[in-house]
Structure 1
Amino acid sequence: MSDPDKSQLTEAEIRTRYITPALTTAGWPTDSFREEFYYFSAGRIQVVGKKGVRKKPKKVDYLLEWKPNLPIAVVEAKDNNHEPGDGMGQALEYAEQLDVPSVFTSNGDSFVWHDRTGLRSPVEEEIQLDQFPSRAVLWDLYKQWKGISDEEVPVISTDFYDDGSGRRPRYYQRIAVNRTMEAIAAGQRRLLLIMATGTGKTYTAAQVIWRFMQAFKTINPTKGQARVLFLADRNILIDQTMMNDFSMFKGRMAKLSSSHRTITKVMSADESGEYTKAVDKSFEVYMSLYQAVTGTEEVDNVYKQFSPDFFDLVIVDECHRGSAGENSAWRRILEYFGSAVQLGMTATPRETKEVSNIEYFGEPLYTYSLKQGIDDGFLAPYKVIRVATNVDTFGWRPAEGQQDDKGQLIPDKQYTEADIGNELILPELDKAVAQRITDYLRDTDRFAKTIVFCDDVPHANRMRRALVNLNEDEVRNDSRYVMRITGDDQAGKQEVDNFIDPESPYPVIATTSKLLATGVDAQTCKLIVMNSRVESLTDFKQMIGRGTRVREDYGKWFFVILDFKNVTRHFADPTFDGEPVKVYEMPLDGDMGDAVNNLDDVDERGDEDEEDGSDEWIERPGGRKPRRKRYVVSGIPVSIIDEQVQMVGADGKLLAAKLKDFVHAKLLEQYPTREAFTEAWTAAAKPSDFLDQLANSGIPVEDLADQIAPEMDPYDVALNVGYGKTALTRQQRAEHVKASGYLARYQGQMRMVVDGLIAKYVEGGARPLDDVRILLVEPFSSIGRPLETIGLFGSRASYFTAVRELQQTLYQEEL
């Protein structure tokens, strides 16, 4: 029987008076559960015009833990006007996402217990408040659910590293580390984690190492201190990792390099001696490039200075690259240290007919995808602008007898998009692409960090020159405004650190081939330009991954993909954001060597050995090979014939139709008549609420307004696109309000405030008016501090009442 006054209590009061006491009575210490404030997502970022707005983050009312970062149950609370089992659907969704087996809901009268382990019957039952299970009971269920034996508990219950700042791993990082430790405890030797770019793979790796070292005496009580090898394929990956996520191992960590190789020095005509810079084997964690410790000659194989059983854990970063190949030099390292636990980590597992990560590392222990990262708000959403040029769309054919710029006869054929840039170079195409990039930056932010992916090094050089010529003003201020950053360009490679440094304004635009496609943590990159043909889904994922970081402190909420080659068609691939399907097949001749080893041509420093375009020949393993012949033809007219803006819809997929047509259809589907739309608009508490509602329903009206009529209010754009009503600009609406005599109701400084609000509406629409922080800027800051400005209206409520009345007047239908 419910207490007579219980129905009057808030949810918070139900938790405090009934649920928390039930937990403590069942033996749960207060430090074993986290109440209300455990937000496990950041809140999806909704792209609104040129800005980003966060939706509410996900949270659980109670997260019950066996120990910190080892949760075993969730509890969802409701007020007493709900049934005890209300909210179970949401609680189960959260439990699945958080990887916990026991789920409870309560309204303060009783609990409903849902068991996801399948070990109890019934699966779901109602229990009294004083029957809540103890920690021991739920821990035992957890162990059975995970298949954890008592002997494995010391391994899986080791502590995460705590730097004293209060930082806890994000929920998916915690799951990745916990599942790795569970697999190690169970005796698995080859492990795979798939985590989208920008979700903290190296931080996760550091926590795995930390916990592995703690558990090692249990894993191997006779050996002593654990030894770990961390392998990557880019110098910058090693250096960034040592300074940042692996800083916990300072003093216990060393970097292996090619200087440790055995070298031969000629002493005299008949005498020579070998000198080796021996590896110091006293460290616990070794960081290395594959290329630095392997080579075609035996003396180059630095890793063999270690005994095969020296390392106990080998972690392979970005394992989608050469480590997947059965006959690759990198793979030989893994086979040499075959007794060690080996963990592969990647955002884009390579699964092709020739190469398979899963074949070597096994099925992934955990996958955290790009889609999930965007949904949680940890990764930036994206806009896609597809641009079509006449020559890429329709191709080009030379006139009879036409010669190229060098006087060579151009073979007569229809040159398609696949030929242009390969056999045929059209300088005007590079200029047209550079012009569109420049126009976009001028319209948005000229200092937005930009990566332009090109076909090869010569293409990257041509694009750099075209962009330099179109941005002469900024280049004169600093020549690094546009830079080519490729494997053969030392000056460019030296600027990589500055390009990825949020504090460094230069370089702004980087043209590249492959060097920036993987591992480079360009946190503030806002524009990804796809100006190369990308057939590999793996490569495509890596390229767009450069833009997925969120940096709110630098105004980075989302990024834009400017696609000139229709490579964003990969978004439609059903396997784009799912777990990989193993399709490993041996070629008919059974030889995988060439297929694998040519996937990634890298020099000893871990940079691409890209073509430099300097002559007609290029050195490759096996001898000199002729460079393909190209025809350069200047003066061919190039124009942009179509452009399509696409958004990520509410379902996480790109909107397939043109934005205007899509919004028109969706508006009519949800609001069949103009009256229905205006009634819904008027009924909303404030315009920003309704705009959010439209966006959450998959109707990006604000983005459409930004695209086709930035001077108009999204309200007018919706009425025009959806129902054919003539649209007014914000300036026209503001003038109507002033002409109506509306301002006469205010005097003195209050009138100055309202007049300022009208000016801000003309500048940015109704949404900024809903945010009190607008009072921090001019003209309001000249009147006083925000509290003083609000005080002119009597109270905060009165101020917002005045804002609402102004907005209602702005949107009066008779306008």
Structure 2
Amino acid sequence: MNEVQTRVEIDRQLTAAGWQVQDQNQLNLYAGSGVAVREVTLATGRADYLLYVDQRLVGVIEAKREGTAPRGVEAQLDRYLNGLTAEQRLSAWRREAALPFGYVATGTETAFVNQLDPFPRTREVFAFHRPETLARWMREADDEPAAPTLRARLRRMPALDRLGLRPAQIDAVEGLERSLADARPRALIQMATGAGKTFTAVTSSYRLLKYARARRILFLVDRNNLGKQTLREYAGYQTPDDGRKFTELYTVDRLSGGGLLDSSTVVISTIQRLYGALRGDELPDVDLDDQAYDSYDLGSPAEVGYNPQLPPETFDLIVVDECHRSIYGKWRAVIEYFDAFVVGLTATPVKQTLGFFQQNLVSEYTYEQAVADGVNVNFDVYRIRTEITEGGQKIEAGTVVPLRDRRTRAERYQELEDDFTYAGRQVGRSVISKGQLRLVLETFRERLFTEIFPGRSTVPKTLIFACDDNHAEEIVTMVREVFGRGNQFARKITYSSRRDGDNPDTLIQAFRNSPEMRVAVTVDMIATGTDVRPLECVFFLRPVRSATYFEQMKGRGARTIDPADFQSVTPDAQVKDRFVIVDAVGVTEADLDEAVPLQRHSEQQISLRDLLRKAGTLTADANEVATLASRLSRLDRQLTDDERAELAELGGQELRSIVRGLVDAVAPEQLNPATQAGPEAVRDLLAGALRPLAANPQLRDRILEIRRAHDITIDEVNVDTLLSAAGVPAAERAQVTVRSWHDYLDQHRDEITALQVFYEGRGRVSYDQLKELAARIARPPQAWTPDSLWQAYVQLGRTVEQAGPRGVTDLVALIRYELGHDQELRPFRTTTEERFRGWLLRQRQAGATFTADQVWWLERIRDVIAVSVEITPDDLEGAPFTERGGIDGYAGAFGNRAEPLLTELNQELSA
């Protein structure tokens, strides 16, 4: 854009935001609430636009050429905000002060600064604020001059009333408020499943609305059934000051088809529903649109435009629940549209989550900590292995087998002309093995009251994860048959439940509260967030590749429950003190990853037919190529040997080779350089990968024919064989942990500073470096704490149980022991105290004597090193040293030896 085009675009954006744009020679300050006047001379230069709100001069816009960095214009903008003539000051909102509101705009980028903030800081905004917004801010500043803005009020929050809050919730609320007081735009709260993330968010919401006078809060949920759960949490929240319910004081609504209500103070929505509202779409019924937003694949990342019904300043705070999911990818533009603080809640942050929230992790509360505090219960693993699950099976030629259409579920029968061999990984997806399913469930039934929950007689509440909806149907049928029970005993709860005539919310409620419903079978619907406290068995009949997703699924069983409530649905139970992962597919033994999913479009959004058509015309973009690779890879796994050979002959190479070419083309190491080189380079790269398909219409047609004909094969003839069924011993799990810990140290030795120190033997490790390491290993897929690692060594008999949990500094002992530097694994404090005694003995043998006062200092220095790895002069200005004068008292006690003594103790005690 040239300068003229920039001005035209800024005029358009101002008009869209409700401003009347005028020239100075046609000035009419009564034309609207907000008037933007072009090209006005000030005492310090010529401003591109002056802003009037209700006939009072309040701000300046400085227009710059597209590509100009806003931060480089701040000094010029500041001169204009302070540069009114004497005559202009007569119409200014505050005659003796600078104008409060400043913008730098290029037509494609807009930056804003509010001089009323305690520490005015420029921030990017999607669009100019509306005149009525500035008018409201002016009224707020007039009403409370000491704290004229939201950011000012956030710095004056009263102390938190801690009554009724768990320590982790206190840490989270206070950590968030410190972050908000510092005006950090994004903050992340990590809190274990069941530890009260939503209650924490409601507590923060109440405090921000009451004390900071925030206007409106948006709470984004993963699915609509979680929105209902969140609404109940707000409605049930009792305010700590006068005991009234939150909803008696503030209006809490779910975003409905009618759009945003003016009276709404808290708005609950899914991000896809919010996206539809921003686009002006007609929103579906709030109770029908019920899928996780990861299931709503977009052709490309969401793009949003200005919507005057939902301007960027609509919300002051956005809370994103389950924020480990894809908000930071395809949906992030929806969040970044709003000029609001963003707070993420998750039990399982991954690298992309931390990146989106700018590494601002304001509180951490791990699953292990929650178990130690009694907030969550721990788990055991019961592993069931069968011959078919492990190695697949063969159906002999001549057998008549049922084939089921995936979409219609219509069945037909076909006599096999050749042997049909399938792998274990196909079970549950392209093959339903009745024998495998029956054996797994019969084994579960037979061992339930003898090995898994000995002495019990009521089937515990059990959640079974299936591969897909067809698989879930088979499981429900088989559960009822194996246990000899009726429809109410086991139910399917999936996204198709509503379509099939059931209300998923009613089913989930029954699963929580009904003594009759003991088993629920799901695919993804109850995988994250949904609260079913009596749940005692999490049963995996489907594999999981994502470590984060596995942690979320596993977490469904972790929640505690009041004993009376527990016994009301499971009468023969006393107290829920654990849950059991029943693993029938090896998910607890698999190497899980955090890779970005290859498939970036859903079946509903773009079909395989359309993907192949785009391949033929070379019009598929990178996302479509990635999705095509995912679809073809999945198809390749389902092919028979004959089909695979036929496609290889047609294509001149195996289908998996074509898939590999597609995957390589969209890999960052190839796609990023091509993107930088320009559109033609990207087109050439993708066209080269697509050529085997584009140049072979017969291959494309045959792929579609095979895909259409590829039904689910139902194996009714093979009886499965039980290989083993047993609880996984703690020692075996500990062995896996220790082995994985050793491998982790070796793999990350060059990228984590604390590990570099140990491997290279240079200097001492600092407490901050150990904290960084602790934070890294606490994330999935490891999810370790120093205490959980230590307990693994205890289980293996390599060290002894110690009183109290192990802390960050014990990572020193764990690393030194694993690297062979120490022959015995002992707590860091124990080692520190032993080294201190040895150092003191050597000092006395050398003739040194210490007064009682000096010994007091030395022992306290030892204690600091034991918990912090090192001591610094700054530590001497804190407790307990201030009792004896702090750093001055220390200097007086040791004289010239004071400084070298600290260095010597650091070297001797933390070596």
TM-score of the pair, normalised by structure 1? 0.49
Query: Which protein shows a greater Rg?
Result: 2
TM-score of the pair, normalised by structure 2? 0.44
